[in-house]
Amino acid sequence: MISERIGTWARQHLLVVGKFLGGLGLTPNMLTIIGFILNCVVAAIIASGNIRLGGALLLVSSGFDMLDGSVARATGKTSPFGGFFDSTVDRYSEVVVYFGLLWYLLDTDDWKTGSLLALAAATGALLISYARARAESAGWKASVGILARTERVVVLSAGLLLGKPVWALWILAVGTHLTAVTRMAHVWRQSRQPDGK
């Protein structure tokens, strides 16, 4: 997945940025909250009808997904609660953008199809994260599939920038559920191994 490669790159190269931001007094949890607030702003911009600007800013606001982790590693402030808090707020950040898009779609000719697709895409996104979290809590790995967080942001941003959000929602509605099912199948295969891994 693209997100796995980006995550590896970020961990290696963003420590300098993390040290700088940590030196300013910013904590990982503060950056998580700032990221959520920025995603709320993005949602409001999309809801107002300025979807291309919203698509561009979505790429920027989503960058905070990497910065909070970089600050945590650079300042030695990693913690189980921090990881839990970051993951939970990230889900809110993603869903609030779908709310903004849904608000926008209600004033378009595609409002019925778009609304159903937005619900399907948001549900699929949550199931992807839930499947991974549940698998990891049981001792398995589930970082597989085609639409992890980074890929979802890229698809939605591209659809918004092109002025074709419903196209992006079709991809997300199908792809997120395919990814969730892929993760379930992956965990099932692991559970069938003699050592359960």
Number of neighbouring beta carbons within 10 Å of residue 183: 25
Catalytic residue among 90, 109, 110, 195: 90
Give the total residue count for the chain: 197
Residue 31 one-letter amino acid: L
The CA distance from 186 to 126, in Å, is 18
Which of 130, 93, 90, 98 has the alpha carbon at shortest distance from 116?
A: 98
Looking up tokens 């650079």 gives 74
109 is catalytic: no
Report residue 157 CA to chain centroid gap. 12
Number of neighbouring beta carbons within 10 Å of residue 21: 21
Kindly list the catalytic residues: 90
